[in-house]
A and B are shown apart, each in its own frame.
Chain A
Amino acid sequence: MTLSGSARWALRLFMAVGLTFIYVPLLLVLVNSFNGDRTFAWPPRDLTTRWWSAAWENEGARQALLTSVQAGLAATAIALVLGTLVAFAVQRFAFFGRDTLSLLIVLPIALPGIVTGIALDSAWRSVMGDLGIGKGLFSVVVGHATFCVVTVYNNVLARLRRTGTNLEDASADLGASGFQTFRYVTFPLIRSALLAGGLLAFALSFDEIIVTTFTAGPGVTTLPIWIFNNLFRPNQAPVVNVVAAVLIVLSVVPVWLAQRLAGPEAGASRT
């Protein structure tokens, strides 16, 4: 349709306002991490890097970061294995209940987090508790892996649909063993899909708070839990703000990686 010049300008203005709405809060956090005032008086009167060094020396924040990275890596590893297995099964085989299975994989992320959280919590307490395994980092990893499987599954499934089985058949015709075919043909084909899916899984796990609240044992504090616990303590505000600023800066990394890997679509499948 032919839009009049003024309609174009109106839309352009709307887009600019929308982007401002999206980015101003994030920029504010970045600026406030240098705000010399403890209560973020606005506009900032003096700028300082003292909160950054305070955050760096904050034992709780560092410990929480470490816990988050451990939980994220473990959950991503499990999700990579399980997600790839299911993707191969769904794409290469026809079996009873296949559609139900692909729905089941989406379920942990489609249901409200609090439902997944209390389901895992009560099951853990009644089953694993009887076995003598209390809640700890392991239960967090189990909870995270449950909803991370879907990201790997989606990415690998899409890749398998696109590539088909011709190359694998050719490899087998040329006398390669099943292992060789996987090592030299299948794996290279799905490698970037695994990377994209793994990246999404890690990001989901790293950001998760609701399921974590219900599955974390005493003393297990991931970074989001740490932020939430310190959010309402006024004297911790500057350090919380620096941690928030770091997380905003870090969020550019996966987008940049996804760009290098596969163009903008790779980052679009966040859910």
Chain B
Amino acid sequence: MSFLHRHPRLRLAALLSAPLLWLVVAYLGALAVLLVSAFWTVNGFTGEMVRTFSLANFRTILTEQVYRNVTLRSLGVAASVTVICVLLAVPMAFFMAKVARPRSRHWLVIAILTPLWASYLVKAYAWRVLLANGGPIESVFGATPGYGLFATILVLSYLWLPYMILPIYAGLERLPDSLLEASGDLGARAGRTFRSVVLPMLIPSVFAGSIFTFSLSLGDYITVQIVGGKSQLIGNLVYANIGAANNLPFAAAIATVPVLIMVIYLVAVRRSGALEEL
């Protein structure tokens, strides 16, 4: 111990060697192999991987209509889910942070948090039952949207809504009430105060929440299978190419699409200060 105490560098090495071995060698190594294998191909006859550099996979993704359609559809789903979550989360978070009494505020936060601990699969399953033909939605409202793209957007919004509410709530809680009062004293009505004072200060929180809703929706392929009917998103293509088609290089090439989109998105929202809100 005293030997270690006198040699801080050794102490640091002792602390870091195991985690670094795990994260850098095992995880980053795996990611690197995946990235490299996206440039490999699979021999159509033998099913063996051909480990020579080729852009064939990316050429297919860029030129074939079906991949462009699926990418655009996935983007559309992720964007719709994000917009729906913002529209639902802002009024709810505003009520929690500024209208509710401090005592009930505490319980409201718990009420929003608790469903996060319930299994993702269970929640998607619950919606499968709700939306089924002859299910509760049909017997209460007389009709059900059924399984499909709309149901996918609905269920994904349901799943990720708390991830949007919590950062917005945190942002609103930091917003001093005195600012709102000052705006009111200067003659602004509630709507004007909301537009000119609250909203601009909420932007980083909204972007922080959108990183979750957008990225989680973009990579999802389980919910689509449960409530999406025959719809396909990027995740389904990756999954199908690993499983049935046994074409890992092509799956890796498709998987780079959501990663690329997320990197672009992260760089775009970084300027708003959203990353510090996570």
Chain A: residues with CB nearer than 8 A to chain B?
A: 1-4, 7-8, 11-12, 14-15, 18-19, 21-23, 25-26, 28-29, 32, 39-43, 81-82, 85-86, 88-89, 93, 95, 101, 104-105, 107-108, 110-116, 118-124, 126, 142, 145-146, 149, 177-179, 203, 206-207, 209-210, 214, 224, 227-228, 231, 240-241, 244, 247-248, 251-252, 254-255, 259, 264, 267-268, 270-271
Contacts and interface: CB of A to CB of B under 8 A. Distances in A.
B99 A244 contact: no
Interface stretch (B17-25, B52-60, B62-70, B199-207): B17-25
Contact of B127 (A12, A25, A82, A203): A25
A94 to B, nearest CB: 10
B45 interface: no
Interface of B is mostly: helix
Nearest to A228: B121
B120 A104 contact: no
Interface string B232-271: 0001001100100000100110010011001000000000
Interface string B153-171: 0000010011100100010
24 contacts: A1-B194, A2-B184, A23-B115, A25-B126, A26-B115, A29-B126, A42-B139, A112-B219, A115-B31, A118-B255, A119-B30, A119-B33, A145-B22, A146-B23, A146-B27, A207-B121, A209-B120, A209-B222, A227-B121, A227-B125, A244-B126, A252-B117, A264-B106, A268-B109
Given A26-B115, A122-B33, A210-B222, 17 more contacts: A1-B197, A12-B99, A23-B115, A25-B158, A26-B122, A28-B136, A42-B134, A42-B139, A86-B16, A89-B12, A114-B219, A115-B258, A149-B22, A241-B129, A251-B117, A268-B166, A271-B163
Contact of B29 (A4, A88, A123, A271): A123
Given A15-B95, A28-B129, A115-B219, A207 B259 contact: no
Interface residues of B, number: 96
A32 B128 CA distance: 13
Contacts of B108: 15
Nearest to A22: B115
Given A104-B24, A231-B125, A2 B117 contact: no
Interface of B: 1-2, 4-5, 8, 11-12, 15-16, 18-20, 22-24, 26-31, 33-34, 37, 88, 91-92, 94-96, 99-100, 106, 108-123, 125-130, 132, 134-136, 139, 158, 161-163, 166, 170, 180-181, 183-184, 188, 190, 193-194, 197, 212, 215-216, 218-222, 226, 235, 238-239, 242, 248, 251-252, 255, 258-259, 262, 278
